[in-house]
A and B are shown apart, each in its own frame.
Chain A
Amino acid sequence: GQQVQQSPSSLVLQEGENAELQCNFSSTATQLQWFYQSPGGSLVSLLSNPSGTKHTGRLTSTTVTKERRSSLHISSSQTTDSGTYLCAIDTNTGKLTFGDGTVLTVKP
């Protein structure tokens, strides 16, 4: 089965609404990262959060290691937040395994 599963696969919001993205993984993760990919663009690391809660700007990630899940909360979404959000884990191999991503569309 797929090692990293993300949900929902797509999400449409009105500007100002909050977004909640989920990442579930089947193996113990020693590293967990959230990436943002602009439409047709490259990937940028948003947060590295193998456990606990981390904040940066309007982003909050909470990872519960024992339950093998992580979430990314985006508050007060903006149209410029539109793109694909990817979760990736490292199971102590030095390699990141990616989920298929959540495509976020924020409408004005």
Chain B
Amino acid sequence: EAAVTQSPRNKVAVTGGKVTLSCNQTNNHNNMYWYRQDTGHGLRLIHYSYGAGSTEKGDIPDGYKASRPSQENFSLILELATPSQTSVYFCASGDRDSGNTLYFGEGSRLIVV
């Protein structure tokens, strides 16, 4: 069974603080993605990666950094969190061998106060 796990599942951060959201996949997929979802909207791509050591900017990368230290792990980093980054963040993995189907984690709910 494909598995993508995210941590933390819930986080309250203060404005200006640093937040790291972690994602681990056991699918051995090359590609990993970070999306955010705001109430009433679809998902917007923040950063993605084609493999260990690679990170690419998605559609809304400002204010976020990403790190892919290994095939299994992909982190999203908010160096200076702002209230506008309050959202639900989803990590996903996929590649051509999986028919490009994406497998999503359970989501991380972040509130920045």
Which applies to chain B's interface (DSSP): helix, strand, loop or mixed? loop
- Which B residues are CB-close (under 8 A) to A90? 100
A72–B76 Cα distance when bound, in Å, is: 33
A contacts with B, residue count (CB < 8 A): 22
> CB distance B104 to A43 under 8 Å?
yes
> CB distance A94 to B106 under 8 Å?
no
Is A60 among interface residues, defined by CB-CB distance under 8 A?
no
- Least CB distance from B19 to A in Å reads 20
B101 contact from A6, A41, A48, A95, Cβ within 8 A? A48
> CB distance B100 to A98 under 8 Å?
no
- Chain A's closest residue to B6 (CB) is A42
Is A31 among interface residues, defined by CB-CB distance under 8 A?
yes
- Which B residues are CB-close (under 8 A) to A48? 99-101
**Chain B interface (Cβ < 8 Å from any Cβ of A):** 31, 33, 35, 40-45, 48, 50, 58-59, 90, 92, 99-107
Beyond A6-B42, A33-B101, 14 additional contacts (C-beta under 8 Å) are A31-B100, A42-B90, A42-B105, A43-B43, A43-B90, A44-B104, A48-B99, A48-B100, A86-B42, A90-B100, A95-B45, A97-B45, A97-B59, A98-B44
